[in-house]
Structure 1
């Protein structure tokens, strides 16, 4: 598998994961907020719907970004940085608002952050491989 194929597959896998999480939040916002948080409120329900819609939109952007090979490395670097920011934000939220989460909620946020961290590493590695002079030389020959 070439670095380009790997990068595109990582973006597609990330898109499917975002879409799955987003649709889960849209379809079951009440169930998930009750499972994850010690408190209840309409703002949690609304936040879950908004986050779900944002994740579905992100999935669409990821699929679009993986279709074009011309700027694939730059897009992979961008999504790696965004995924790293998601992981950092998840850690800050879990540390600052630990009392607001139930035990399953804490594990859900931490588990998703670990999966997103895997995507960030894979995107970075694919982008790095695509950015090497040897890869550019191979593309010129093809």
Structure 2
């Protein structure tokens, strides 16, 4: 998202700086302790190693967050609060225990705090420019299942939205993971459609819910031989609510991953962010078509 470019840049620089400093402390704690502290002591390299681990974990987390296309202002502000905490701790450390450092050590603590301050301020400025996506998505887990949902209000009447939602071949134009969709048989409840992935893999989906003008649902046949995703069960519901000249559509996906407990846990961790991105992109593309057809 263009409106998150500034904050993602500062988060990335913050991550790179934290990882670099952490790596230095981890690789050469002894020489650095000799340079930073006035009187050598056995605890100093140990402290630097502990600090290195914390910085590497922090930097790695920032690197992941910086790649998130849908950052929220609250996430960025929390990170900036952590940065200001580092700055405050550095000031207190120099006031209370400045005597344990060499002149180079004191200068290094102040320089690092100053650089962190630049990151913190840049992140806060960037956070003010973040505009929440119009498509609101959430991903939660309960038991062994993942529930992913997205909703979007559009400037289009419900009949137009419903017509677009029921254009099953056209679904491939807005779903980034599909190359083609074809109706195999029927219409409404019991209808079957075949979906094709980008590499030609395909599977059937059966309509198991149909409320004309309001909602429909599909059960995905994940038992297909070349079904590309590690799901033992997958169901989706698409719905629309009328609000005069505007409408609100929603998609709800319920998935149960395959594998043992560890495999499922790892998949859920990875899927949370990925599901959200996929659903927001899908809803944005769908909304654009709905509003375009409403204006025609």
1:36/1:104 contact within 8 Å kept = yes
Distance (Å, rounded) in 2 between the aligned partners of 1:68 and 1:12: 11
TM-score, normalising length: structure 1:
0.89
* C-alpha displacement of 1:72: 3.1
What RMSD in Å do the two structures reach over aligned CA positions? 1.7
Following TM superposition, where does structure 1 have runs of at least 4 consecutive aligned residues deviating by more than 6 angstroms?
A: none
Shift in Å at residue 70 of structure 1? Answer: 3.0
Secondary structure, counterpart of 2:128 in structure 1: helix
Query: Over residues 31-63 of structure 1, what are the superposed CA-to-partner deviations in whole Å (9 max), with x where a residue is unaligned?
Result: 111111112222111000010111111111001
Larger helix share, 1 or 2: 1
Q: Secondary structure at the match of 1:12?
A: helix
1:50 aligned onto 2:50? yes
1:37 equivalent in structure 2: 37
Deviations 1:77-112 (A, max 9, x none): 011100001000000001101111100000000000
Q: Which runs of 5+ in 2 are unaligned?
A: 135-153, 155-283, 285-296
**CA distance in 1: counterparts of 2:84 and 2:44, whole angstroms:** 24
Distance 2:3 2:71 in 1: 13
> If the length of structure 2 is used for normalisation, what is the TM-score?
0.44
* Residue matched to 2:70: 70
Comparing both chains, which one has the higher relative contact order based on Cα–Cα distances under 8 Å and sequence gaps of 6 or more? 1
Which consecutive unaligned segments of at least 5 residues does structure 1 have? none
Structure number having the greater strand percentage: 2
